[in-house]
Structure 1
Amino acid sequence: MQPQYSTPQLSPISSIKSPTLFYEWQNYRCAYDVYQPTNATEDSIPLLLIHPVGVGLSKVFWQRFCENWYTSGNTNPIYNPDLLGCGDSEMPAVACYPDDWAAQLQFFLETVVKKPAIVIVQGALLCVALELAKIQQESGSNLIHGLILAGPPAWAVMNKHSTERQQRIVWNLLDSPLGNAFYRYARRAEFLRSFSVKQLFGDAANVDSEWLEALQAGAANPDSRHAVYSFLAGFWRKDYSGTIQKFEPPVLVVMGEKASSISQSGKEEKPEERLAQYLANFSNAEGLLMPGRNVLPYESTAEFVEAVAEFANKLKPI
């Protein structure tokens, strides 16, 4: 007879999670969650999470990671902000560029976190982390203690520049009645499930009701479309190779064994080839492959938490 295993239940972490908090940045009201364990020490290095941008996505993306982080015995404080236009942050009808979101996070680090943090970034929002790194490189700031890439894009995508004219054409097409109709279609459960199965998850069974309900709730406010349009318009598509090669803090690159690319330029790149490219271009990087596809903090949470904890525990506080 095979032994029977029960699924462990995550204990609540409400006692260490704040209610959603707010701060003002450039006259916009921006939201964040913070987790402050009572057993965290003064020299505990905080984690700063950067959520992906897409239909219904926000800081809620990291909820499963945060739960698992603390039930696994880790004590680092976690700061989980909503980028402008997403979640509980203000949603202006403006185009957001990666350097805008990076400036928001630089302000957040300086005024809220107030100490060097390990930045964990999901997917193509790596562009925002790199713009943040560029701000710090140019200003002499030292608030990125380490960087963790969860399922970064194909290497060719991070080094291919699209013209401002191309970006504006796509933005104007999206920011129109046609684009608004597309957004209403894209937030339907059927579309969200199909896209998640085809592009994000390695196992269709992992596209669960928790995931789909969170996306639908996040997309309920139609004003959330402007951040999504900013991402789809490709304002983030530029050559980041110079910033990557100048980046000095330790880096962990975590790639899914079934990692794929939506972009045509990255279609033929194998996960191990993508990982090797990043490791070759960051000066101080390590990496690994793990089960899953493109949303590892959600699909392979336990494995991702273990990798992050191992990396974080090797870093000494500044």
Structure 2
Amino acid sequence: MQQSPTQFYTWQNYRCAYELHQPINSISEGIPLLLIHPIGVGLSRQFWQRFCGEWYSKGHRNSIYNPDLLGCGESDMPSVAYTPKDWAEQLHYFLQSVVQKPVIVVVQGALLPVAIELVQKELNLIAGLILAGPPAWPVITKKSAVWQQKLIWNILASPFGNAFYRYARSPRFLRSFSIRQLFGSEDAVDAEWLNTLVAGAENTTSRYAVFSFLAGFWRQNYAKNLTYIKQPTLVIVGETASSISEEGKQETPDERLTDYLACLPQGRGIKLPGRNVLPYESTGEFVKAIAPFIAEFS
């Protein structure tokens, strides 16, 4: 896959980056995809590069919009606390001003609250959703205390947090964390993954998006909000899916899938080999699993 040039738009006086991927030497067909990358040390829209390459190598011709959320990648990085509503407002503007056509939203992991907030804001431009490795059900349905969120944020926003981030962006830490929490296979934590994270974390201002995530500003009870999602929704869970949070550690992948599908009005689900970063770890299986769902909208 050829590298797509970075493009920019302005939202609330911030410069925000994105890529528009299209099939090489052919015309785009079918409904476009809008990708929402995860938040973490060094993570940005680059998380999706392997998926985009695999998508087109299999002959699919949908356009893919791959934005950097504010605070990540090549987007501006204000030193503020970010909430899912902030990122949803950014993507809502992106949909209305740049994309300007219905899409299928593909969201990775614990950025699900951003997709939920986005669906609440946009009625016409979201045709369906794909939830890749969504959080454990006890996590997505439990609100953390506001005082606790603020306390963690204040600690992380201090010089201590700056020192912690410099440690957390080291290849040794990133490899250890990825093996313990993200990948089902240690061998899948490859040089491409680690090099991408190290490069993405080079600018230490990227720590504010990560700290906002660690502070738990996304930790709300979204059970009722999920029942309001009327669009067809595909939930994909890893066969060895796990939870970083204590609340979800006892949950099995089957239980997670069952709970989500019981709540989503038009939900359907599937399990795939892998753990928590399926579009990266199990790219081929992930592309094969979502292709029929996306084809239904063409």
Q: What's the TM-score once normalised by structure 1's chain length?
A: 0.92
**Secondary structure in structure 1 of the residue aligned to 2:17:** strand
Q: Is residue 109–residue 143 contact of structure 1 (8 Å, CA) maintained in 2?
A: yes
Q: CA RMSD in A?
A: 1.0
1:97 corresponding residue in structure 2: 83
Deviation digits for residues 61-113 of structure 1 (CA, Å, limit 9, x no counterpart): 00000000000000000000000000000011011110000000000000111
After the TM superposition, which residues 116-265 of structure 1 pair with which residues of structure 2 at under 5 Å, given as runs? 116-136=102-122, 141-265=123-247
- What is the rounded CA distance, in whole Å, between the counterparts of 1:21 and 1:274 in structure 2? 37
User: What secondary structure is seen at the aligned counterpart in 1 of 2:137?
Assistant: coil
| Equivalent of residue 51 in structure 1, options 18, 22, 37 | 37
CA contact (8 A) 2:6 2:17 kept: yes
1:313 corresponding residue in structure 2: 295
Contact 2:8 2:18 survives alignment (8 Å): yes
Find the partner of 1:294 among 276, 279, 285.
276
C-alpha displacement at 1:53, in angstroms? 0.3
2:8 corresponding residue in structure 1: 22
Q: CA deviation at 1:162?
A: 1.2
**Contact 2:30–2:295, Cα closer than 8 Å, also in 1:** no
- Structure 2 residues without counterparts, runs of 5 or longer: none
Aligned partners of 1:264, 1:40: CA distance in 2, in Å? 47
Shift of residue 207 of structure 1?
0.2
What secondary structure does 2:221 align onto? coil
Residues 1:81 and 2:96 aligned together: no
Structure 1 portions without partners, runs of 5+: 1-12
The list of structure 1 runs, each at least 4 consecutive aligned residues, that deviate by more than 4 angstroms after superposition, is: none
CA contact (8 A) 1:151 1:254 kept: yes
Residues 2-45 of structure 1: CA deviation (Å, up to 9, x unaligned): xxxxxxxxxxx21xx5310000000000000001235345x620
**Aligned to 1:213, what secondary structure does the other structure show?**
helix
Q: Which amino acid aligns with 1:250?
A: P
2: distance between equivalents of 1:185 and 1:36?
A: 37
Output the amino acid matched with 2:283: T
